[in-house]
Chain A
């Protein structure tokens, strides 16, 4: 008759673990105390005390000796048997452990990759109370930036609003060897922040003391930046020279140093200054609704932020009036834990986004696939090996061992093996992490950012989960046979074990899938390299200009250089920048991409003319751009064909179409960046923002040469020249990552599968030894025996190829469609190659074993036993 409110589970728990002779006393005391505690503290707290008391009762003097836990016996006999079993089959078990270790290290990387995204921004202790202001628009993407005047206008009690803005600024370092002018310029991110940012994002110095608000002319630098600029870890009091856009120099004093934030945060903070500097450095009006900052953040504890939205919306009108071309319909607050997932889709936003979910799922998916494969193989080998131990099990049973102890033995053996595999895997992972990080654009896995408890827990969970998963079936399956049947040789644990065959088929399905994926990805990469973009990438260098006059200065110097084949100025760059604009034709409006280019730009990039002419050099001499346009073929088709010499309206002015060119890619061929209708208008030299060069020879070398020339001409300006080929960067990197991951995954999966197949063949050969012997004596040839041995394998490979290749083509097509605008079409050869490769590997790996078995002397085979 216990107390009605007593936590039942905990009561039963105590009853379960407590020694019987103590239970009456202890439970009585606890229950009496429970009754009293309800009166003094209330039910909730009384229950909590009760639970705590029971937890604290879990000590050796209270816990009963459970029959199953004979702690002294476990390490002894079970362990000795396990080691004996290992010694018996060192090759199979070693291979098994190695395969598992490889799979586990891939799994570990997959997990930490996932964890990277999962714990994004969790570094900030107050993350759940921090929000970012985003602006909603109707029918268009949400705006990530907000007006500078928004944060100061918000004044609700208990809620703080503060701004963050990031600018790239040139940092000048004196006494740099190897530079003509004695100094060198570096581009560095300078973060302008309100004091609230430092406070509510809990930024701390190297001693973990909170950073105090910054005064004017003071900055905080990250430890990494400190090493980079000062060559010492703690340059407090030293001066940093920055060059403003108007070429003025400013000195900033380092006030303190903070540890670099982990990579899975939205900020890349290297130098932090107070927000006031922004108006001084860039002429931004702090109280203007038309000057934008990167982000306005809100600190609102306990979900208070809902109170804020109505107040914010009262500023909607002011903001929209100040920004006619960027109307927003409302404000939205996104918690900083959720915002990184949206970041990539925000308009004008410049923070670090979370990895694309496909990238995480892809890695995790491959990792889980490999892990499953390794588990299948583990199970297979376990069954195969334990087939040889049937007699051992029978003897044990006869001598009084029960089924539980047999199962315990098997599970312990397997957990031991997995334990070894986990240790090897962690070591492997340690060496693989740098390689993995190098593959991505920045460090995804930072071992020093992961708490060691996570590592330990992860390792233990792996050992238990994988160990139990891989050992449960063999343990229960093998232990169920009656000893008598075993002794009488009635138990046939044949090679035709259904489960083994199914598992092996699954393994090879994954093999086919992976190798198919690898080949298609590699082929696609070379296809995209060869793909005609409508212009020529090779030999083109773009140099950003801060003033259009720089073009003339550059041109004067470069004219004499023989390896500069062509040079042109432009304000838009094919592949990097264009605007969307509406064009009027015959009273209709067309939404097209618009590029402002200088004369000769299209020729420099070798855009191909179909009809009419390109912009001619002479016509820009007036200083005013002629009202002429060149359009691409797609736009011409949209206009109804033959648009040459017809008038188009752009910005309310009449333009004449003087030429039609072949379609070309406006951007890199990622995502849905397909060819679009497009028009180019002539840009006057007074609005050039890039100089574009076509050079002979190596562009990288020439770019270095140009950099030296640039600093000779403009020592106070940062050189930003880049290659037109950079337009391929993202495609190349994505392909590189995909090929690398596929290679690793395919290699490991084929290794593991071959191991599994080898084991299976050996097992069949063993089991059917006598049968083969008799057959040979009766006149069967070795070819016939080989055929008998391989019959199952034909089926396994056939079914695996069918499923693996079909699945692969569906998945790869979907993946390519979501990543690339243009990709390869999968054709017959893509199916033939993986099949050939896998067949080749299978034949060379197990063929010898099969022939060797078939050629055995039948006398030897029959004489055993």
Chain B
């Protein structure tokens, strides 16, 4: 998964970060994806995916405020970089293009 290719999970994570906007930190992403995909995503799996994404330069992160529920630990917020957004858009274009080429009868 090196290079600029996006895995399915990675794509979903990027989208989830965009949806959550300012509030995109580990737990929220995990919950958002678990809910949408209807399957449990472990924090470990999420961590690995996020590490890969930041290695590719698609996401960046910064520390936010600490809260009581977190035992006084800071949150790490994630946001998309320009290349992350570009890769996501590229993916969408590719898919739209392919979808538009599928004969409508095949979808029934």
The interface centre, meaning the residue of A1, A56, A58 with most chain B CB atoms within 10 A of its CB, is A56
- Residue pair A35, B69 in contact (C-beta under 8 Å): yes
Using CB atoms, name the residue of chain A closest to B76. Answer: A25
Q: Is the beta-carbon distance between A62 and B44 smaller than 8 angstroms?
A: yes
Is there contact, CB below 8 Å, between A56 and B26? Answer: no
Q: Does residue A28 face the partner (Cβ distance < 8 Å to B)?
A: yes
CB distance from A49 to the nearest CB of B (A): 9
The stretch that binds A, out of B12-20, B45-53, B89-97, is B45-53
Q: Is the CB of A56 within 8 A of B74?
A: no
**B-chain residues with CB within 8 Å of residue A1 when the two chains form the complex:** 68, 71-72
Q: In chain A between 52 and 81, which residues have their CB closer than 8 angstroms to a CB of chain B?
A: 52-53, 56-59, 61-62
User: Is A532 at the interface (CB under 8 A from chain B)?
Assistant: no
Q: Are A28 and B44 in contact (CB under 8 A)?
A: no
CB-defined contacts of A56 to chain B, threshold 8 Å: 42-45
B70 within 8 Å of A by Cβ?
yes
* A696 part of interface (Cβ distance < 8 Å): no
Q: Please, which residues of chain A bring their CB within 8 A of the CB of B67?
A: 32
Q: Which of A2, A29, A57 contacts B27 (CB 8 A)?
A: A29
State the total of A-B contacts with C-beta under 8 angstroms: 68
Query: Taking CB as reference atom, which chain A residue is nearest B42?
Result: A56
Contacts of A29 in B (CB 8 A): 25-27, 30, 43, 70, 75
Using A25-B76, A26-B26 as known contacts, say yes or no to A32 and B69 having CB atoms under 8 A apart. Answer: yes
Most chain B beta carbons < 10 A, residue from A26, A28, A53: A28
Collect the chain A residues with CB atoms within 8 Å of residue B45's CB: 56
Task: Given the known inter-chain contacts A25-B26, A25-B76, A26-B26, please indicate yes or no for A31 contacting B47, CB distance below 8 A.
Answer: no
| B interface footprint on A2-22 (CB within 8 Å = 1, 0 otherwise) | 110000000000000000001
A64 to chain B, nearest CB (A): 14
Closest-by-CB residue of B relative to A35 is B69
Within 8 A of A (CB), among B21-77: 25-27, 30-31, 42-45, 47-48, 51, 66-76
Interface centre among A27, A31, A32 (most CB of B within 10 A): A32
Interface of B is mostly: mixed
- Interchain CA distance A30-B75 in the complex, whole Å: 11
Q: What's the Cα separation between A27 and B69 when bound, in Å?
A: 11
User: A58 to B48, alpha carbons, bound, how many Å?
Assistant: 11
Chain A residues within an 8 Å CB radius of B72: 1
Residue from B25, B47, B72, B76 with most neighbouring chain A CB atoms (10 Å):
B47
CA distance A29 to B50 in the complex (A): 14
> Can you name the residue of chain B whose Cβ is closest to the Cβ of A23?
B73
Residues in A whose Cβ lies below 8 Å from that of B42: 52-53, 56-57
Once bound together, how far apart are the Cα atoms of A59 and B71, in whole Å? 24
Could you tell me if B43 and A53 are in contact, using CB atoms closer than 8 angstroms?
Answer: yes
- Assembled-state Cα–Cα distance A62/B44 (Å): 8
**Given the known A-B contacts A56-B45, A59-B44, are A31 and B26 also in contact in the complex, defined by CB atoms under 8 Å?**
no
Residue of A nearest to B75 (CB): A28
How many A residues are at the interface, by size bracket?
20 to 34
- A465: Cβ under 8 A from any B Cβ: no
Cβ contact within 8 Å between B27 and A33: yes
Q: Which of A28, A33, A57, A62 contacts B71 (CB 8 A)?
A: A28
How far does the alpha carbon of A58 sit from the alpha carbon of B76 in the complex, in Å? 20
B75–A2 touching, CB < 8 Å: no
Note all chain B residues with C-beta closer than 8 A to A35: 69
Shortest distance in angstroms between B26's beta carbon and chain A's nearest beta carbon?
Answer: 4
CA distance A2 to B26 in the complex (A): 18
Q: How long is the Cα–Cα vector from A24 to B75 in the complex, in angstroms?
A: 8
With A26-B26, A29-B25 as known contacts, state yes or no: A57 contacts B73, CB within 8 Å: no
In the complex, the chain B residue whose C-beta lies closest to that of A22 is B47
Given A52-B42, A53-B42, A56-B43, answer yes or no on A28-B70 (Cβ-Cβ < 8 Å).
yes
Interchain CB contact under 8 A, B73 and A31: yes
CB distance from A673 to the nearest CB of B (A): 66
Q: Which residues of A contact B51 (CB under 8 A)?
A: 61
Across the two chains, which residue of chain A brings its CB closest to B48? A61
A57 to B41, CA, bound (A): 12
- Give complex CA distance A33, B27 in Å: 7
Q: Is the CB of B27 within 8 A of A61?
A: no
B70 CB contacts on chain A under 8 angstroms = 28-29, 31-32
Using known A-B contacts A33-B27, A53-B42, A56-B42, determine if residue A26 contacts B74 with beta carbons closer than 8 Å: no
Contact B71 A3 (CB under 8 A): yes
CA distance A58 to B51 in the complex (A): 15
Partner of A61, one of B26, B47, B69: B47
Closest B residue by C-beta to A30: B43
On chain A, the residues within 8 Å of B68 by CB distance are 1
How far apart are B60's CB and chain A's nearest CB, in angstroms? Answer: 14
B residues in contact with A53, CB < 8 Å: 42-44
Q: How far is the CB of A440 from chain B (nearest CB, A)?
A: 50
Closest to A52 in B: B42
Residues from chain B with a CB closer than 8 A to the CB of A32 are 27, 67, 69-70
- The chain A residue sitting closest to B67, CB to CB, is A32
Interface core residue of A26, A29, A35, A57 (most chain B CB under 10 Å): A29
A-chain residues with CB within 8 Å of residue B74 when the two chains form the complex: 24-25, 28
**Cα distance A642–B70 when bound, in Å?**
99
| Contact A62–B47 (Cβ < 8 Å) | yes
> Which single member of A25, A33, A59, A61 contacts B75 (CB below 8 Å)?
A25
Closest Cβ–Cβ distance, residue A12 to chain B (whole Å) = 14
A29-B25, A29-B26 in contact; A57/B69 too (CB < 8 A)? no
Bound: A61/B67 CA distance, A: 26
When distances are taken between beta carbons in the complex, the residues of chain A under 8 Å from B66 are 28
Question: Separation in Å of the A7 CB from the closest CB of chain B?
Answer: 14
Taking the closest CB of chain A, its distance from the CB of B18, in whole angstroms, is: 19
Which A residues, 385 to 442, have Cβ-Cβ distances below 8 Å to chain B? Answer: none
Contact residues in B for A26 (Cβ distance below 8 Å): 26, 43, 47
- Closest residue on chain B to residue A34 by CB atoms: B69
Compute how far the CA of A53 lies from the CA of B43 in the bound complex, rounded to whole angstroms: 6
Chain B hits for A3, CB < 8 A: 71
| Minimum Cβ distance to chain A for residue B70 (Å) | 4
Establish whether residues B71 and A27, one from each chain, have CB atoms under 8 Å apart when the complex forms: yes
Taken together as a complex, chains A and B put the C-alpha atoms of A32 and B45 apart, in Å, by 18
CB distance from A353 to the nearest CB of B (A): 49
Chain A residues with CB under 8 A of B48: 59, 61
Q: Which residue of A lies closest to B70 (CB)?
A: A28
Interface centre among B25, B42, B43 (most CB of A within 10 A): B43
Chain B residue nearest in CB terms to A2:
B71
Centre residue among B31, B69, B70, B75 by max chain A CB count within 10 A: B70
B77 → chain A closest CB, angstroms: 10
Bound complex: CA A25 to CA B51 (Å): 13
A22–B43 Cα gap in the complex (Å)?
A: 12
Chain A residue contacts of B43, Cβ below 8 A: 26, 29-30, 33, 53, 56-57
CA distance A62 to B71 in the complex (A): 20
Closest to A53 in B: B43
Inter-chain CA distance A241–B84, complex, in Å, is: 80
State the 8 A-B residue pairs at the shortest beta-carbon distance, nearest first. A28-B73, A56-B44, A28-B70, A29-B26, A56-B42, A29-B27, A25-B76, A57-B44
Q: A28-B71, A28-B74 are in contact. List 15 more A-B contacts (CB 8 A).
A: A1-B72, A2-B71, A24-B73, A29-B70, A32-B69, A33-B27, A33-B31, A33-B43, A53-B44, A56-B42, A56-B43, A59-B44, A61-B47, A61-B48, A61-B51
- What are 26 A-B contacts with C-beta separation under 8 Å? A1-B71, A2-B71, A3-B71, A24-B73, A24-B76, A25-B26, A25-B76, A28-B26, A28-B70, A28-B71, A28-B75, A29-B26, A29-B27, A29-B30, A52-B42, A56-B43, A56-B44, A57-B43, A57-B44, A58-B44, A59-B44, A59-B47, A59-B48, A61-B47, A61-B48, A61-B51
Query: A residues bordering B, Cβ < 8 Å?
Result: 1-3, 22, 24-33, 35, 52-53, 56-59, 61-62
Interface residues of B (CB under 8 A from A): 25-27, 30-31, 42-45, 47-48, 51, 66-76
